[in-house]
Amino acid sequence: MPGDFSSGARLEIRITPADVGKRVSVRQLTEITDGHPMFTDTVGVLASWDAGVVSVTRRTGETVRIAQAALVAGKVVPPAPARRRSGVPAVSAEELAEIAARAWPAVETARLGGWTLRASGGFTRRANSVLVGGEPGLPVDEALAHVTRWYGERGLTPYLQLADSSPLVPALDRRGWIREADSLVRTAPLAPLTSLPGGGEVTVSRGADAGWTAAYHRTGNLAEAALQVLSGGPSVWFASAPGAIGRAVVDGRWAHFGAVEVEGPMRRRGLATQVMGALARQAYTEGATAAYLQVEADNAAARALYDRLGFVDHHGYHYRRPAGPTA
C-alpha cells in the first residue's frame, strides 16, 4: 500500500471498473479523529463497481462494500499464493448446507428460529424452500403452519429442504409431508480439477450475458428472479463455451459448481469437463481448496461425470411438501 496519508505521501487510486474480477488492495477513509484520518485496508477480489459502490470479496467469502467517495487508494495485486494446506475440510451437513445457500441466495428470506424461509418467485426449489437447520423456536405444528402461510401469501408451494439425517424426518413422515427430489451434496479437492483439459474457447466472466441465460434451461419465464439468484453469492463466476455453460461461487475455502449444461448435439465432447476446469482454475486463484456441488440422486449421467472428476458423497438431502393441493 502507499505511504501514510497524514505524512503527506501521495495516495493513488490505480484501479477502475475495468479491473472487476482481479485481486486488489484498497484503502478507505473511515473517519477523522482529532484531525487525524483513520483508514481501513481491504484485500480481495474486486467483485463489482457500480452506482458509486465498490465491492471487494475477501478470501473468507465476506464481501466488503465501500462508497467510491471513501476510497483514497487502490491497486491490483498478485493472486493469492496457493495454500499448502489443501483438500476438503471437515464440515457438518448443516454447515455445508448454509454455505450452499450463500451460493444460491434467494431474492427474499425470513428467519424462523434456526430455519431460513426463502422465496424467489418460484425459480428452483432451492431458492423457494425452507432451509431447515436447528430448531424453529415453535412447536412443530405451529412452525409448519407458519411456513404454509408464508409461502401461501406468495403463491408458492411450501417446501422444506432438509438433510436425510435431520431429526425432523420422522415428524414429517407422521404428518404426511411428501418427500421429493432426493439429492446429494458431493465434495472433492479443488487442486486436481485445475488440471482438467483447457479448452481455449471457454471464457470466464463476472456476469451472465444473454447467451448464457438463454442456454440455461431452468430460467423459463422467471428470467428476472433467476438473474437475481444466479448473480448472488460471495464471488460469482460464469463460464461459457460454444454449446456449454457453467457457474461457480467462491466462498472462502469452498468453491460451488453448478448450472453446468451442455447442449444435446455437443455432448460427449468433454465440454462439461472443460467448463469445470476453467472455473476451478479461477476459484483456485482466489484461495479456494475444496469443491462441492449438488446433484439429484437419480441423475446417473451427472453422477458418473462427477465420479470421474473425484467427487464423493458428503450427505443426502431432500424436499418435503404437504399432501394435497399446493400453490
- 3 state SS of 136: coil
User: Left if phi > 0, otherwise alpha if psi is -120 to 50, otherwise beta: which for 272?
Assistant: alpha
- Regarding whether 190 and 224 lie in a shared domain, the answer is yes
Residue 66 lies in a domain: yes
- Bridging pattern class, strands 254-262 and 290-296: parallel
By residue range, what is the domain housing residue 295? 186-314
Distance CA 290, CA 192 (A): 10
For residue 209, the SS3 value is: coil
Same domain membership, residue 204 and residue 243: yes
Residue 298 lies in a domain: yes
Task: Say whether both 201 and 308 belong to one domain.
Answer: yes
Distance CA 119, CA 147 (A): 11
pLDDT of 101 above 80: yes
Task: Answer yes or no: do 190 and 150 share one domain.
Answer: no
> Does any domain span residue 165?
yes
Do 198 and 304 fall into the same domain? yes
What pLDDT, on a 0 to 100 scale, did the predictor assign at position 8?
45
> Which stretch of 10-19, 102-111, 171-180, 235-244 has the lowest confidence by average pLDDT?
10-19
Query: What is the CATH number for 208?
Result: 3.40.630.30
Q: Tell me if 1 is assigned to some domain.
A: no
pLDDT digits (tens, 9 = 90+) for 217-262: 776 656 788 888 998 888 999 999 888 999 999 998 899 999 998 8
Amino acid at site 11: L
Say if residue 277 is in the same domain as residue 168. Answer: no
Asked if the structure places residue 268 within a domain, the reply is yes
Shared-domain flag, residues 101 and 203 = no
> Structure pTM?
0.76
